[in-house]
């Protein structure tokens, strides 16, 4: 279980990080074409999409730190979950059902990483207490 939890955790880092990097490296026209025009009914601005990119990039950095500091990892998982839930819901509301699959997979992966890390922390504590 330990290795599976770590592998899923590590897989989540480039997924969320690359999404943030793409948003931050894109010019305003690309942001409009990819995000704001398809979701025009929701009124998202280019600045909001850039903000989401910053949150995604910070979450990826936090996920890296979370490999050593569980509290940082949990906070980053929470941020990742909120962003992906927002993306999933936004796509559903806009009627972009096929586009909603990607954030749904990310949500499931984020939940798996959360519960895997939670299991590891609890299992590690029980082992440490039992050895004393």
pLDDT tens column, 33-55: 999 999 999 999 999 999 999 99
Pick the closest to residue 84 from 68, 36, 30, 76 (CA basis): 76
Longest Cα separation, the chain? 60
pLDDT of residue 3: 87
SS3 of residue 89 by DSSP: helix
The CA–CA distances, whole Å, from 127 to 3, 9, 30, 86, 124 equal 17, 22, 51, 38, 5
Domain total in the chain: 1
Give residue 131's pLDDT band: very low, low, confident or very high (50, 70, 90): low
**Parent domain of 125:** 2-131
CA distance 44 to 103: 17
pLDDT digits (tens, 9 = 90+) for 7-32: 999 999 999 999 999 999 999 999 99
């Amino acid at each position: 279980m330990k290795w599976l939890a770590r592998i899923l955790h590590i897989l989540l880092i480039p997924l969320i990080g690359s999404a943030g990097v793409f948003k931050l490296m894109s010019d305003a026209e690309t942001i409009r074409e990819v995000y704001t025009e398809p979701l025009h009914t929701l009124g998202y601005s280019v600045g909001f999409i850039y903000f989401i990119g910053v949150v995604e990039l910070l979450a990826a950095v936090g996920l890296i730190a979370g490999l050593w500091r569980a509290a940082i990892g949990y906070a980053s998982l929470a941020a990742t979950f909120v962003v992906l839930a927002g993306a999933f819901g936004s796509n559903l509301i806009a009627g972009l059902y096929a586009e909603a699959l990607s954030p749904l997979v990310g949500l499931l992966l984020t939940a798996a990483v959360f519960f895997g890390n939670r299991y590891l922390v609890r299992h590690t504590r029980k082992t440490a207490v039992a050895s004393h």
